């Protein structure tokens, strides 16, 4: 069992990242330990340069994201925690895979279409080839389990397609170069939506800070954001079917269920028939109770530069070692001469 996943150190991590991905990093890190496998979690800083960025901010955000992940329970003694930029094999394998990835495959990526919008010509090459780097990130380590939110599923399918084509074209069936990775998507929190618009995902890059709950928000801010969250005038239904055409209400109930470790049905069993006047304060209380230990640990770690650098240096050294055999196999398979 080899768990591999990444998160971009851009913006502040939010409840969507936490429930959609980070909770599963922690769960799978522990499962991998029991199974005698490995877990690697990295900051996707190389991905972050695909969009206009401020270098000083990227540097600071990378260290903050390490502190956040550790505060959420990613344990550097159990997990290889590192940033891509310190493990040169990611960029190297991306180039090798670029011979296999097809333009048509990348053109179909919804994230590319969304981010590029109408101005495709003006985008960086990196934004277009971004999913090839993402494929390299997981294939480099022979990942079996990749915990991600729903929005990354398509990129993982592409990684499987690239692995499959590379294996077909350059390896034998008995000795494939790459393992096909499985995305691990939490059924209850695959897609946490914006608090302002139930049809858009909660995102680090959305303009309005009121649209997301940041993992660093204080209790008053959390309560205010939930109070102001868009809803409708109806009371909550007592069955999930009643939420079908009510995306904002569904989102709040989904968040409650995910934080409580329960299900939408169970939450409606308790709150069905009640209005948002009573549900929102309960959700705010649960959110604050769930996030405040994280904020406390984050605050204690954030300024401990020495520890954060040490975690990344150690993780990168471990990752570089783990990356060597697969990268060498890929060079060999392609017929590239290396003395
Ligand atoms: P990123 O940084 O946008 O998000 C990190 C993780 O959080 C999940 N996520 C969500 N889940 C549920 N609801 C939401 N609203 C929500 N928003 C984000 C994402 O699905 C992701 O799992 N390209 C990736 C980073 C990456 C990566 C990889 C992931 C680079 N290489 C290799 C896995 C494997 C990204 O930008 O995630």
pLDDT of residue 205: 86
Please check the confidence at residue 43 and state whether its pLDDT lies above 80.
yes
Q: Break the chain into its structural domains and give their ranges.
A: 2-190+304-333, 209-301
Q: pLDDT-derived band of residue 112, with 50, 70 and 90 as boundaries?
A: very high
pLDDT, tens digit, 9 for 90 and up, residues 183-195: 999 988 889 999 9
CATH architecture label of 209-301? Orthogonal Bundle (1.10)
Distance 120 CA to ligand 1 centre (A): 22
Output the CA 218–ligand 1 centroid distance in Å.
Answer: 24
Residue 20 in contact with ligand 1 by CB distance below 6 A: yes
Distance CA(331)–CA(58), nearest Å, equals 31
Of all residues in the chain, what percent carry a pLDDT higher than 70? 100
Clarify whether 227 is annotated catalytic: no
Can you read off the two tokens belonging to residue 332? Answer: 């060999």
Find out whether the beta carbon of 283 lies less than 6 Å from any atom of ligand 1.
Answer: no
176 pLDDT more than 80:
yes
> Looking at 78, 165, 204, 230, which residue is catalytic?
204
Q: Give the distance (Å) from ligand 1 centre to CA of residue 336.
A: 33
Q: For residue range 305-315, what is the model confidence (pLDDT) as tens digits?
A: 999 999 999 99
pLDDT at 217: 93
Active site residue 225: no
What confidence tens digit (pLDDT) does each residue in 191-215 have?
999 999 999 999 998 889 999 999 9
Selecting among 78, 115, 230, 280, the annotated active-site residue is 115
Task: Note the pTM of the prediction, 2 decimals.
Answer: 0.96
Asked if the model's pLDDT at residue 339 lies above 80, the reply is no
Q: Tell me, which fold does domain 2-190+304-333 have in CATH?
A: Rossmann fold (3.40.50)
């Amino acid at each position: 069992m080899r768990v591999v996943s990444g998160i971009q150190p851009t913006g502040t991590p939010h409840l969507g990242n936490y429930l959609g991905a980070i909770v599963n990093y922690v769960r799978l890190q522990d499962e991998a330990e029991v199974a005698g496998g490995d877990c690697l979690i990295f900051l996707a800083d190389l991905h972050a340069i695909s969009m206009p960025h401020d270098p000083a901010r990227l540097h600071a955000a990378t260290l903050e994201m390490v502190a956040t992940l550790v505060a959420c329970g990613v344990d550097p003694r159990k997990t290889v925690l590192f940033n891509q930029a310190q493990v040169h094999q990611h960029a190297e394998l991306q180039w090798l895979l670029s011979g296999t990835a097809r333009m048509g495959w990348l053109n179909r990526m919804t994230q590319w279409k969304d981010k590029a919008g109408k101005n495709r010509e003006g985008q960086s090459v990196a934004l277009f080839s971004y999913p090839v780097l993402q494929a390299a990130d997981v294939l480099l380590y022979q990942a079996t389990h990749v915990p991600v939110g729903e929005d990354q599923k398509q990129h993982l399918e592409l990684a499987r397609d690239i692995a499959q084509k590379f294996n077909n074209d350059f390896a034998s069936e008995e000795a494939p170069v790459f393992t096909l990775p499985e995305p691990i998507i939490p059924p209850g929190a695959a897609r946490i939506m914006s608090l302002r618009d139930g049809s858009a995902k909660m995102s680090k890059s959305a303009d309005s800070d009121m649209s997301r709950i940041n993992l660093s928000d204080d209790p008053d801010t959390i309560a205010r954001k939930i109070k102001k969250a868009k809803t409708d005038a109806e009371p909550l239904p007592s069955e999930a079917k009643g939420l079908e055409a009510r995306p904002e209400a569904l989102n709040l109930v989904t968040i409650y269920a995910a934080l409580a470790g329960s299900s939408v049905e169970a939450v409606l069993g308790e709150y069905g028939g009640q209005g948002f006047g009573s549900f929102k304060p309960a959700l705010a209380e649960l959110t604050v109770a769930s996030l405040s230990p994280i904020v406390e640990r984050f605050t204690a770690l954030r300024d401990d530069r020495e520890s954060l650098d040490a975690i990344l240096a150690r993780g990168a050294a471990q990752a570089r070692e783990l990356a060597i055999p697969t990268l060498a196999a890929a060079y060999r398979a392609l017929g590239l001469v290396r003395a």
